[in-house]
């Protein structure tokens, strides 16, 4: 007679009790190994030992469940290493730098500062800046590179940069510059994007032969433009506000720009079509960067850049660490590393308080499961 579900669950309960006891015993032995490694100056990670151990374990398992054992023990090795790092207080110097930033950062985000923005007056970066700062002294630059250089050379204390759009995706150039410059994110915000077709007063839609705008704005309106204005030339420029400025300064009556209501008013233009974006829920996320780390009260988001080794399972090892610590992953983005063939860095946004024990353990442990690690900052997002 087959066993009832209650009997089977009772068996599972008994097995789970044994597993819990066995894992606790294994962790206790791991702590003794950690003490030995510390005394003899040995690293926490012993790749050869783990590889041999995993091969041995899989040889004991039935063929039909070997893949499950592979996952289980890979995670168990991660947990064991993390516990050894806690026991030996490894990598505490990295967290000490973050703790110092927490202690030295003022309790209130500044109301006024010299801030670098890409574009011209009326750009979405201008709007984001005024959302983050009550009275910013804004310096405008033509390119993202110039914004980074202004902050690096001390001309400005902060820089405002777009990092991603809800429909067009990430701003790849900014990711590459974040990798190049070791700057920190200190705050972020999201701006609702309302793309409008703007032109000189008196110009009609049927008069337009060319439209200028930022490449992402053109991309976000591609379906609308293809359907309603298929023969119009599309030209990418540095910024939507610069596009509006170009139209305002031009003598042409067949030129229009995709920009915002604010730019239309600012440059004396007329809005011919509003809400042009193919997706009505169109937002751009902007980050505020600084040369030194600043961590303000309430910081509940952390951004990291990680370079994983070029071998199977390397990304899994990193993700397993997040999972083991119970940290929610809000974003994962891969980017090729310039001048390094077939190597990628991974950008993570993590949902975790900077004051949590999980955050401390992650910062102290993550260096052991990747080749390179760059802490980009802990901050909160202004809605």
Are the C-beta atoms of 271 and 353 separated by less than 8 Å? no
- Cα distance between residue 306 and residue 318, in whole Å: 9
The position carrying tokens 């150039």 is: 173
Distance (Å, rounded) from C-alpha 51 to C-alpha 102?
39
Identify whether the C-beta of residue 379 lies closer than 8 Å to the C-beta of residue 295.
yes
Q: State both tokens at 2.
A: 């087959």
**The one catalytic residue among 44, 284, 302, 352:** 284
How far apart CA 238 and CA 217 sit, in angstroms, is: 11
Active site residue 286: yes
- Measure the CA–CA gap between 258 and 213, rounded to whole angstroms: 5
3-state SS class at 152: helix
**5: alpha, beta or left? (left if phi > 0; alpha if psi -120 to 50):** alpha
The position carrying tokens 């310039």 is: 338
- Quick check: is 235 catalytic? no
User: How many other CB atoms sit within 10 Å of the CB of residue 183?
Assistant: 22
Q: Which of 316, 311, 334, 324 is nearest to 365 (CA)?
A: 324
Alpha helices in 214-327 (DSSP H): 215-220, 222-228, 240-249, 261-266, 314-325
Q: Return d(Cα 157, Cα 178) in angstroms, integer.
A: 16
Annotated active-site residue in 109, 148, 286, 346: 286
Residue with structure tokens 């599309």? 234
What is the set of active-site residues? 284, 286
């Amino acid at each position: 007679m087959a066993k009832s579900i209650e009997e089977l669950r009772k068996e599972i309960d008994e097995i789970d009790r044994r597993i819990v006891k066995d894992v606790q015993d294994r962790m206790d032995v791991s702590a003794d190994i950690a003490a030995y490694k510390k005394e003899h100056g040995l690293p926490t990670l012993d790749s050869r030992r783990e590889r041999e151990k995993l091969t041995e374990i899989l040889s004991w398992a039935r063929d039909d469940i070997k893949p499950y054992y592979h996952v289980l023990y890979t995670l168990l090795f991660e947990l064991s290493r993390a516990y050894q790092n806690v026991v030996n207080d490894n990598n505490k110097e990295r967290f000490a730098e973050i703790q110092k930033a927490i202690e030295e950062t003022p309790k209130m985000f500044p109301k006024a500062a010299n801030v670098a923005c890409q574009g011209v007056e009326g750009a979405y970066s201008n709007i984001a800046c005024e959302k983050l700062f009550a009275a910013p002294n804004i310096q405008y630059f033509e390119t993202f590179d110039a914004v980074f250089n202004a902050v690096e050379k001390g001309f400005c204390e902060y820089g405002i940069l777009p990092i991603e759009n809800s429909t067009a995706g990430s701003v790849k150039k900014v990711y590459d510059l974040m990798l190049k410059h070791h700057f920190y994110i200190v705050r972020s915000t999201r701006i609702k994007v309302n793309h409008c077709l703007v032109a000189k007063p008196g110009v009609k839609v049927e008069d337009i032969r060319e439209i200028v705008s930022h490449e992402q704005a053109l991309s976000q309106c591609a379906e609308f433009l293809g359907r309603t204005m298929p023969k119009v030339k599309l030209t990418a420029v540095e910024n939507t506000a610069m596009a509006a400025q170009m139209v305002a300064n031009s003598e042409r009556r067949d030129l229009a720009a995709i920009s915002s209501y604010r730019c239309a008013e600012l440059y004396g233009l007329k809005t011919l079509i509003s809400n042009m974006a193919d997706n009505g829920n169109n937002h751009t996320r902007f980050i505020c960067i600084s040369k030194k780390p600043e961590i303000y009260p309430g910081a509940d988001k952390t951004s990291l850049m990680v370079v994983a080794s070029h071998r199977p399972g390397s990304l899994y090892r990193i993700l397993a660490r997040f999972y083991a610590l119970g940290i929610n992953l809000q974003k994962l983005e891969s980017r090729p590393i310039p001048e390094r063939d077939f190597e990628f860095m991974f950008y993570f946004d993590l949902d975790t308080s900077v004051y949590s024990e999980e955050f401390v353990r992650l910062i102290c442990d993550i260096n052991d499961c990747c080749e390179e690690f760059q802490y980009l900052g802990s901050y909160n997002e202004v809605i």
